[in-house]
């Protein structure tokens, strides 16, 4: 499991380095202006319907089901893959055509606060991104096929190559003065990825041969997949509703709000992507085959490590988000107004980062055990808390109110999943309480240091304080040293 984690986390690190370059260039050349808003809005409009129907079907249903069948009945595993492949080819073409044809009305519906210029540019970008939907779905399925066979090459390489393509086309859009070119970064990346993933799967002999199951067996397998996916379809709808509601409300808050949320989210999602997403992807196949006792022990120790890593990071981002944003983005068209609005977004997302990531990990644990009704209830609480928070706070608090939504949802989902775990969590409980005991002291010292030192030097001192404070605390406690080791 350690080797798989390092492979995925290494790929995610390379992706985030390229993604950081993409975000810096986007901020420098477009700030939180019309191009950045249109780019973010069109990407959301492209991916939301795709994720609604496929994201959880591919990962949370296909991977554990394929891994289980592969051990007990390889013929059924092959048939499952070929069934989904045929489904995704048809679905990808259909979604791509619909998004291309309905680009204008969709942008008007999802982003009503955009002015005419933003709407027109977002619709043009959406038409281009729609061309990338079929290869996107195809690459997702091939990546999940590899993960189900404990080969994580495609999931490791995919995000980095995607970010490289998007970075290159953002640069082309800025240098040529044609903003619409940025949209080709998504479609072009996935066209290349589809070809590369196919060659990789063939070379590694991972492409399942033709299955000999008859029509009745295929229908039975489709029914099995549908029973597992049915509750997750509602979960997907709730997740996408939350994203679309955030974009809808951000467009009403004011110009630049959509882009500001995404600049801030890139920072919080970096730690989530590097640490938590690999664990979740590995766990979908690996946890499915563990005994209840072994699963409980792994869940306990993994949660304990999440608290150790992300509770301090959440506090750091809330207290020092302005300094981080200045270092990364404050140049070119990303001015002080952009800094102010993005800083409020980062504070709201940062305060609940630890809860969001822990909730996401536990969701994957239940997915791996095919307890999808538990996931449905947990994600319903997540969505309800997030939507209610955004609806209540976006008018008085603006972007800060929107960013507090996912944090509130993470807390609600985490509380539910913890109650549904069958056994005690001694390591996780001890780790959480020990970190919580010294958190107020760190916050006071960080606040005082922030008043005494600003700028790059102040941020460097804040990083040093965090390393000394949390490093000393972890190394000074025997039980925490064991988790770290």
The answer on pLDDT for 5 being more than 80 is no
Q: Range with the lowest mean pLDDT among 188-192, 211-215, 384-388, 447-451?
A: 211-215
Read off the pLDDT band of 188 (50, 70, 90).
very high
The answer on pLDDT for 11 being more than 70 is no
What's the confidence (pLDDT) of residue 213?
58
Is 283 part of a structural domain of the chain?
Answer: no
Q: Range with the lowest mean pLDDT among 41-55, 163-177, 182-196?
A: 41-55
Q: Range with the lowest mean pLDDT among 13-22, 115-124, 391-400?
A: 13-22
Read off the pLDDT band of 212 (50, 70, 90).
low
- Each residue of 319-375: pLDDT tens digit? 999 999 999 888 888 888 889 999 999 999 999 999 999 998 888 888 777 777 888
Whether the CB-CB separation of 288 and 369 falls below 8 Å is answered with yes
Q: In whole angstroms, give the CA distance from residue 85 to residue 337.
A: 47
Read off the pLDDT band of 472 (50, 70, 90).
confident
Is 260 part of a structural domain of the chain?
Answer: no
What's the confidence (pLDDT) of residue 202?
83
What's the confidence (pLDDT) of residue 17?
82
Q: In whole angstroms, give the CA distance from residue 57 to residue 286.
A: 18
What's the confidence (pLDDT) of residue 443?
94
Domain around 82: 34-253
Whether the CB-CB separation of 26 and 258 falls below 8 Å is answered with no
Mean pLDDT (the chain) is 84
What's the confidence (pLDDT) of residue 3?
62
What's the confidence (pLDDT) of residue 214?
62
Is 90 part of a structural domain of the chain?
Answer: yes
Is 156 part of a structural domain of the chain?
Answer: yes
| The total number of structural domains that make up the chain | 1
The mean pLDDT of 77-94, rounded to a whole number, is: 83
The mean pLDDT of 208-237, rounded to a whole number, is: 69
The answer on pLDDT for 131 being more than 60 is yes
Nearest Cα neighbor of 56 from 267, 464, 417, 372 is 372
Read off the pLDDT band of 6 (50, 70, 90).
low
What's the confidence (pLDDT) of residue 254?
81
Is 99 part of a structural domain of the chain?
Answer: yes
What's the confidence (pLDDT) of residue 206?
63
For every residue of 299-348, which 3-state class applies, written as one string? HHHHHHHHHHHHHHHHHHHHHHHHHHHHHHHCCCCCCHHHHHHHHHHHHH
What's the confidence (pLDDT) of residue 32?
83
The mean pLDDT of 380-408, rounded to a whole number, is: 93
Of residues 92 and 223, more confidence is placed in 92
What's the confidence (pLDDT) of residue 204?
73
Read off the pLDDT band of 285 (50, 70, 90).
low
Read off the pLDDT band of 445 (50, 70, 90).
very high
Of residues 215 and 199, more confidence is placed in 199
What's the confidence (pLDDT) of residue 276?
75
What's the confidence (pLDDT) of residue 56?
62
The answer on pLDDT for 299 being more than 80 is yes
Of residues 80 and 331, more confidence is placed in 331
Helix, strand, coil percent content, the chain, rounded in steps of 5: 90, 0, 10
Is 238 part of a structural domain of the chain?
Answer: yes
Is 335 part of a structural domain of the chain?
Answer: no
- What letter does residue 353 receive in the DSSP assignment? H
Of residues 146 and 55, more confidence is placed in 146
What's the confidence (pLDDT) of residue 284?
59
The mean pLDDT of 14-40, rounded to a whole number, is: 85
What's the confidence (pLDDT) of residue 359?
92
The mean pLDDT of 49-59, rounded to a whole number, is: 71
Task: Spell out a b/e string for 223-244, using b for 16 or more CB atoms within 10 Å of the CB, else e.
Answer: eebeebbebbbbbbebbbbbbb
Is 58 part of a structural domain of the chain?
Answer: yes
Label residue 33 left, alpha or beta by phi (over 0 means left) and psi (-120 to 50 means alpha). beta
The answer on pLDDT for 211 being more than 60 is no
Q: Range with the lowest mean pLDDT among 110-114, 186-190, 236-240, 473-477?
A: 236-240
Q: In whole angstroms, give the CA distance from residue 462 to residue 451.
A: 11
């Amino acid at each position: 499991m350690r080797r798989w984690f390092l492979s995925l986390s290494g790929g995610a690190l390379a992706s985030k380095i390229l993604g950081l370059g993409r975000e810096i260039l986007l901020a420098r050349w477009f700030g939180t202006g019309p191009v950045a808003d249109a780019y973010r809005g069109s990407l959301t409009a492209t991916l939301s319907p795709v994720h609604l129907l496929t994201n959880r079907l591919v990962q949370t249903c296909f991977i554990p089901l394929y891994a289980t069948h592969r051990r007990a009945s390889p013929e059924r595993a092959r048939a499952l893959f070929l069934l989904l492949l045929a489904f995704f080819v048809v679905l990808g073409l259909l979604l791509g055509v619909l998004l291309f044809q309905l680009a204008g009305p969709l942008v008007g519906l999802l982003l009503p606060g955009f002015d005419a210029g933003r709407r027109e540019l977002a619709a043009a970008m959406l038409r281009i991104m729609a061309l990338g939907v079929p290869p996107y779905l195809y690459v997702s399925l091939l990546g999940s096929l590899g993960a189900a066979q404990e080969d994580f090459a495609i999931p490791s390489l995919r995000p980095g190559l995607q970010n490289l393509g998007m970075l290159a086309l953002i640069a082309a859009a800025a240098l040529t003065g044609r903003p619409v070119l940025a949209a080709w970064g998504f479609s072009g990346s996935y066209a290349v990825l589809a070809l590369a993933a196919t060659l990789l799967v063939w070379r590694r002999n991972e492409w399942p041969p033709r299955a000999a199951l008859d029509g009745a067996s295929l229908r039975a397998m489709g029914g099995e997949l549908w029973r597992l996916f049915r509750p997750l379809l509602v979960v997907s709808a709730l997740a996408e509703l939350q994203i679309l509601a955030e974009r809808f409300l951000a467009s009403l808050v004011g110009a630049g709000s959509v882009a500001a949320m995404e600049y801030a989210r890139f920072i919080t999602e970096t730690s989530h992507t590097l640490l938590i997403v690999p664990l979740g992807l590995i766990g979908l196949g690996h946890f499915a085959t563990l005994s209840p006792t072994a699963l409980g022990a792994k869940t306990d120790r993994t949660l304990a490590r999440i608290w150790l890593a992300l509770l301090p990071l959440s506090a750091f981002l809330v207290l020092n988000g302005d300094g981080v944003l200045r270092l990364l983005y404050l140049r070119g068209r990303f001015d002080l107004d952009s800094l102010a609005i993005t800083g409020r977004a980062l504070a709201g997302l940062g305060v609940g980062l630890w809860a969001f990531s822990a909730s996401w990990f536990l969701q994957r644990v239940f997915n791996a055990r095919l307890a999808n009704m538990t996931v449905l209830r947990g994600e319903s609480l997540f969505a309800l808390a997030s939507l209610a928070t955004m609806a209540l706070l976006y008018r008085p608090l603006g972007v800060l109110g929107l960013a507090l939504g996912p944090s509130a949802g993470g807390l609600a989902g985490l509380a539910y999943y913890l109650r549904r775990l069958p056994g005690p969590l001694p390591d996780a409980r001890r780790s959480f309480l020990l970190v919580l005991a010294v958190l107020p002291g760190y916050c006071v010292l960080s606040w005082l240091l922030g008043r005494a030192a600003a700028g790059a030097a102040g941020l460097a001192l804040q990083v040093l304080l965090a390393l000394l404070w949390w490093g000393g605390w972890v190394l000074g406690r025997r039980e925490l040293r064991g988790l770290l080791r």
